[in-house]
Amino acid sequence: MPDTHVESGTAAASAIGVHIVRTEEEAAASAAPAQRVAIRAENVEAWYGPKLAVAGVNMEIRANSVTALIGPSGCGKSTLIRTFNRMHEFAPAARVGGAVFLDGENIYERGIDPARVRQRVGMVFQKPNPFPTMSIAENVAAGLRFLGVRSKSEINDRVERALKVSALWEEVKNDLKKPGMALSGGQQQRLCIARAIAVEPEVVLMDEPCSALDPIATLKIEDLMRELAVQYTIVVVTHNMQQAARVSDRTAFMLAGEDHVGRLVEYRSTEELFTRPQDKRTEDYITGRFG
Amino acid sequence: MNPRSGASQLFLASEGLYRRRRLANRVMTAVMGIAAAIAVIPLFLILFYLLQKGLRGLSLDLLTQDPNRPGRPGGGVRNSIVGSGIMVGLATAIGVPIAIGCGVFLAEFGQNRAGLVIRFLVDVMAGIPSITVGLFIYGLIVLPQKQFTAFAGAVALAIILLPVVARITEEMVLLVPRSVREAAYALGAPRWKTTLRIVLPTALPGIITGVLLAVSRIAGEAAPLLFTALGNQFNSTNVFHAMDALPLRIFVYAVGPYDYWHEQAWAMSLLLVTIILFISLAVRAIFGSRVTVRQ
Amino acid sequence: MAIESVPAPLARRGLRNRLKAGDWIFTTLVSATAALVVLIVLGLFYELISRALPSIRKFGLPFLWETQWNPVRETFGAGTFIVGTLITSVVALVLATVLAVLVALFLVEIAPPWLSRPLSYLVELLAAIPSVVYGLWGVFVMGVFIRDYFGPVVVDTLGWIPFFDGTPLITGIFSACLILTIMILPTIMAVSRDVIAAVPNSQREGIMALGATRWEAIRIAILPYARSGVMGGAILGLARAVGETLAVTLVIGNKVAIPSTIFDPAYTMASVIANQFTEVENDMHRSALIEIALVLLVITFVINVVARLLVWRVTRGQRVLVQE
C-alpha cells in the first residue's frame, strides 16, 4: 500500500496492540465536514417482552463511511443494529421505542412497512446464511425480484456486478450454477454480502460478520468493508476492537450497566476513541481492564 | 417513501410492484388463516354430533345389558365393553413387554446396521394397514384353530401397538443422560441391572405416556378384529371364543337397518371418543406436548 | 409365540464384551424381541403370499387390471378396487396436503404462540378419533349434508365438467374422498409443522433482510427448504389413506364398478376385504381377497419406505441436500 503511515498510538492504543493504518485520502475523507447523515437514532430503546435491552441511544450515522459498534457481549450492540432495519421486531414479543430516521424519515412511523425499510437497509449476519436450495447466482439475485428486475440479462448483469464488488467474482464466475452451500465459510459470507448489495441498499448493516470466519477470510471481508464504504453506508457490529480500529471511520462504544440495559457510552471518530477516549469506561474497555 | 433520500432508482421505481406484493401477502395470510379455521371445523362438527346424537342413547341399560335379538329395541352393549376391555388388556400385556424390549434393544444396541434395519422395520410396521394385520392373524391363528378367538384379536391389536411403544421407549431411554448410566457402571453394576433398575425407571413416565396413547389407539380399532375376534352377540369372557368389541359393534350397528341401532352406535362412539380424548388430554396435561402419537 | 427359539445373532457383540450370565440373558431377551419384529414383518408377507398363491397362480399378473369380480363364477380381478383406492387416496392426498401445508404455515409463521398451540393440538386431536367413528359421522352427518346441500351445489356449478355430473347420494366416492381428506389431514399437518419449524431462523432472517414479505419468505426460502420433509409427511398421509378401512367401507357405497361420476358408489381394496371376507363364497374368493391384501401391503410398504427415507433425509442433521 502506498502512502500509508502508521500513527504511533497513545498508551491506550498500543496497550492492546492496535495500529491504526490509514491512507492519506481516507484520513482526509473522514475528516471532511458536513457529511450526509444516513441514519439518525433518537432516544432508541429496544425491548424483549418486559425486558429492556437497550435504552436512550442517540447517534448519527454518516453516509458513505464505516461505523463500528463495539462493546462487551451483552451490551446490546447487536440489538441496536437490528433496530436500524426493523429486524429487531423479528424476535418474539420484541418492540422498539424512540425513533430511527433513515434520510430524515422515521422508519417506525405508523404505516411504514418493515419489508420496505429492509430493501433500503440491507443486512449481513453473524453466520453466513445462503439459501441452500439456490445456486450462487440465484442467491445473489434473490432480492432483485422484490424490485421488479425481471429481464435475464439485467439480472445476470447485476449478479456479476455484485459479485465483483464483493470480490467473489473471480472465484465463482465458472460455478454460478453450483449451490451456494458448496462455498467455503468466507466465500459464503462474501456471497451474503453480494446478496445484500445486489439490491442497491443505502445502508448495509453487518452483525459480527467475521465471527465465524478464519483470520484470512476475516481480512478479506475487512478490505471489502472499506471498499463498500465508497458507495454504501456500512454499520458493523464487532466484538473485536482491532477490527473496529482497522476498518471504521467512527466507533461507538456501548456498555450494559448493573441493570443489564445497554447504553451508548461514547461515539466519536475511531482515531479519537482509541487514542483519546473521553470516558473512563471506554478507556477501561479498550485497555482491556474489563470486558 | 421520501424521494429526496439516498434511495436507489431501483427502489423508487418499485412502488407499484410493492403494492402488488403487499396485496399478495395480505391475501395469502388470509388464506392461511382461513385454512386453519377450516381444519378445525371437522373436529367441532364431529364432537357436536357425537354429543347431540350420542347423549340420547346413553343410558344405564346400554352399559349393563347385552344386546337384544336384532330388531327388538332396548338392550345394551355390555358384552362389547367387556370384550374391548379384555382384548385391549390382553393386547397390552402381550405387546408392551415385547415393545419395551425392542425399544431397549434399539436404544442400547441399535447404533449399528442391525439397529438401523430394525428401526426401519418398526417404522414401516407402524404404517401397515390394520386390516392387513387382521388378515395375517387370521391366517396365522384363526385358520389353524378353525375358531375365531379373542386371543387372535388381541394378538392383532398387539402388533399394531408394538411399533408405537417400541419407538417411544427407544426415545425415552436415549433421553436418560449417559452420566446416570456411567455412574451405575462405575459402581460395578452389570448392564442388565443398570437398565432394569436405573435406566427404565428413569424413562418410565415417557414410556407410560406412549403405552397410554397406543392403548387409546387400539381401543378404537375395528379393522384388525373383523376376521380375528369376529364379534359376538353374547357376553363372553373366554378368550378362546369369539368376542365383541366396541368399535366392531359400532360398525355393525352403523350399517344395520334399525334406528335404535344407530342411536346406540352414536352412544358407543361418544363413549369411545370420550375415553380416548380423556387419555389424550390427560397425557398432554401431565407430560406436555413432547410425546405425540400419530395415525 | 416361542421367543426362546429365536436365534440371537444380534447379541454377539454384547456377548463378547460382557460374559456375565445376567447380561447374557438380558441381551438375548432384548435381541429376541427385536428379532421378533423382523419375524412379524417377514411372517406377514409369507402368510399373505402363501394364502394368496391359488389366486396368484390362477389369475397371474392380469389380476391387477382385470375388472371382473364374480365370486360365483370364480373369476377375480382387482382392477376396480385398485382404481377406487387410487382415486380416493390421490384426491384426498391433494386436498389434505394443500390444506395441511397452509395450516402448518399459519401455525409456525403467522399465528402467535397463544393461538398456534391450542389450534395445533385441536387439529392433532382429529388423529385420535377412531376410523369407525369417522364412518358413522360420515354416513349420518356428512353424507346427508352432501346429498341434500353440498352435492346439488357442486352439480349445479361444476356439472359441465366431465365426471362432475351425477346424483349426489349419502355414500359414494365423493364422500369417501372427503372423509379421507379429514382423516389424513392431521398426519400431514403435524409432519409439515415440525419440518417447517425446523427451518433455521437464519434462513427467515436472510430473506426478510432482503425486504421479503412474510408470504415471499415462505414461498422463496421456507417452503423450498422444508420441501422434502413436507413431501415425506404427505406420503405418510397417502399410506394412511390407502390402508384406511372402516370409515371408507361405511361411506363409499361398496359397488364393484369403475365409477363414472364423482358421486358413484365404488370400492377400495381395503373396503372390499372388510366387506366380503367374512362371507366368502369359496376358497378362490378368499384367496383373491388375500391377494388384494397382499397388493395393499406391498403398496403401503413401498409408500412408507419412500416417506421414511424422505423424512430421515431432512431430520438427520440440518444439512439439506441440494441437487443440481
> Does residue A2 surpass a pLDDT of 70?
no
CA separation (Å) from C204 to A114, B205, C208? 14, 36, 6
The rounded distance, in Å, linking the Cα atoms of A107 and B1 is 10
Q: What is the pLDDT of residue A33?
A: 47
Q: What is the pLDDT of residue A9?
A: 40
Q: Is B75 helix (H, G, I), strand (E, B) or coil?
A: strand
Cβ–Cβ of C130/B102 closer than 8 Å? no
Q: What is the pLDDT of residue A210?
A: 92
Say if strands A121-124 and A203-207 run parallel, antiparallel, or are unpaired.
Answer: parallel
Domain locations along chain B = 9-43, 60-287
Q: Which regions of chain C are under pLDDT 50?
A: 1-8, 10, 14-16, 18, 317-324
The rounded distance, in Å, linking the Cα atoms of A282 and A273 is 8
Q: Is B67 helix (H, G, I), strand (E, B) or coil?
A: strand
Is B10 touching A (CB cutoff 8 A)?
Answer: yes
The rounded distance, in Å, linking the Cα atoms of C154 and C157 is 5
Query: Which residues does chain C have within 8 Å of residue A182's beta carbon, measured at their own beta carbons?
Result: 322
Residue A6's pLDDT band, with cuts at 50, 70 and 90, is very low
Question: Residue C263 is which amino acid?
Answer: F
Cβ–Cβ of A142/C216 closer than 8 Å? no
**The three three-digit cell numbers of residue B79, written as one number:** 358384552
Query: Which residues does chain B have within 8 Å of residue A141's beta carbon, measured at their own beta carbons?
Result: none
Picking from A133, A193, A207 by the largest number of C CB atoms within 10 A of its own CB, the best residue to mutate is A133
Cross-strand partners of A233: A203
The rounded distance, in Å, linking the Cα atoms of B276 and B214 is 10
CA Rg value for chain B:
26
Rounded to a whole number, what is the distance in Å from the CA of B154 to chain C's nearest CA?
13
Average of pLDDT values for A6-34? Answer: 47
Q: Which phi and psi (to 5°) does residue B271 adopt?
A: -60, -50
Question: Residue B292 is which amino acid?
Answer: T
Q: What is the DSSP string of chain A?
A: -TTEEEEP--HHHHHTT--EEEEHHHHHHHH-SSPPEEEEEEEEEEEETTEEEEEEEEEEEETTSEEEEE-STTSSHHHHHHHTTT-GGGSTTEEEEEEEEETTEETTSTT--HHHHHHHEEEE-SS----TTSBHHHHHHTTGGGGT---HHHHHHHHHHHHHHTT-HHHHTT-TTSBGGGS-HHHHHHHHHHHHHTT--SEEEEESTTTTS-HHHHHHHHHHHHHHTTTSEEEEE-S-HHHHHHH-SEEEEEEE-TT--EEEEEEEEHHHHHHS-SSHHHHHHHTTS--
Angle among Cα C4, C10, C12 to the nearest 5 degrees reads: 100
The rounded distance, in Å, linking the Cα atoms of C137 and C143 is 8
Backbone φ/ψ region at A34: left (φ over 0), alpha (ψ -120 to 50), beta: left
Query: Which residues does chain C have within 8 Å of residue B129's beta carbon, measured at their own beta carbons?
Result: 242-245, 270, 296-297, 300
Q: Given B1, B4, B6, which is nearest A38 (Cβ)?
A: B6
Contact A122, C209 (CB under 8 A): yes
Report the candidate in B2, B289, B14, B271 with the shortest Cα–Cα distance to residue C119: B289
Contact A43, A58 (CB under 8 A): yes
Q: Given A112, A113, A148, which is nearest B17 (Cβ)?
A: A148
Residue A198's pLDDT band, with cuts at 50, 70 and 90, is very high
Q: What is the pLDDT of residue B71?
A: 85
Q: Which phi and psi (to 5°) does residue A112 adopt?
A: -90, 130
Q: Is B183 helix (H, G, I), strand (E, B) or coil?
A: helix
Q: What is the pLDDT of residue A288?
A: 84
CA separation (Å) from B273 to B279, C125, C131? 10, 10, 11
> Does residue B5 surpass a pLDDT of 70?
no
CA separation (Å) from A130 to A127, A195, B223, C211? 9, 9, 49, 15
The rounded distance, in Å, linking the Cα atoms of A122 and A129 is 14
User: How many other C-beta atoms can be found within 10 angstroms of the C-beta atom of residue B233?
Assistant: 16
Rounded to a whole number, what is the distance in Å from the CA of A200 to chain B's nearest CA?
6
Residue B281's pLDDT band, with cuts at 50, 70 and 90, is confident
**The three three-digit cell numbers of residue B141, written as one number:** 391363528
For residue A195, the chain C residue with the least C-alpha distance is: C210
Q: What is the pLDDT of residue C165?
A: 84
Contact A181, A196 (CB under 8 A): no
Cβ–Cβ of B10/A147 closer than 8 Å? yes
Cβ–Cβ of A132/C221 closer than 8 Å? no
For residue B12, the chain A residue with the least C-alpha distance is: A147
Contact C275, C250 (CB under 8 A): no
CA separation (Å) from A288 to A144, C136, C205? 44, 75, 33
**The three three-digit cell numbers of residue B70, written as one number:** 336384532
Q: Which phi and psi (to 5°) does residue A46 adopt?
A: -130, 135
Architecture of domain C69-315: Orthogonal Bundle (1.10)
Contact C10, B112 (CB under 8 A): no
> Does residue A231 surpass a pLDDT of 60?
yes
Rounded to a whole number, what is the distance in Å from the CA of B25 to chain A's nearest CA?
11
- Please state which CATH class domain B60-287 belongs to: mainly alpha
> Does residue A26 surpass a pLDDT of 80?
no
Average of pLDDT values for A29-46? Answer: 78
The rounded distance, in Å, linking the Cα atoms of A121 and A113 is 13
Question: Residue C94 is which amino acid?
Answer: V
Cβ–Cβ of B21/A102 closer than 8 Å? no
DSSP type of residue B257:
S
> Does residue A170 surpass a pLDDT of 50?
yes
Rounded to a whole number, what is the distance in Å from the CA of C265 to chain B's nearest CA?
15
Average of pLDDT values for B46-58? Answer: 94
Specify the DSSP element, H or E, that contains B106: helix B78-109
pLDDT in tens, A77-114: 999 999 999 999 988 889 999 999 998 899 999 999 99
Cβ–Cβ of C322/A85 closer than 8 Å? no
Q: Mark which residues 188-207 of C lie under 8 Å from A by CB.
A: 200, 202-207
Picking from C114, C227, C319, C322 by the largest number of A CB atoms within 10 A of its own CB, the best residue to mutate is C322
Domain locations along chain A = 4-286
A4-286 classified as CATH 3.40.50.720: no
Contact A271, A277 (CB under 8 A): no
> Does residue A232 surpass a pLDDT of 70?
yes
B148 Cα distance to chain centroid: 25
**The three three-digit cell numbers of residue A115, written as one number:** 419489508
Average of pLDDT values for A190-206? Answer: 95
Q: Given B2, B4, B14, which is nearest A147 (Cβ)?
A: B14
Report the candidate in A263, A236, A260, A252 with the shortest Cα–Cα distance to residue A45: A263
Cβ–Cβ of A199/B10 closer than 8 Å? yes
Question: Residue A165 is which amino acid?
Answer: V
Q: Given A90, A118, A181, which is nearest C211 (Cβ)?
A: A118
Higher pLDDT, C317 or B15: B15
Cβ–Cβ of B2/A202 closer than 8 Å? no
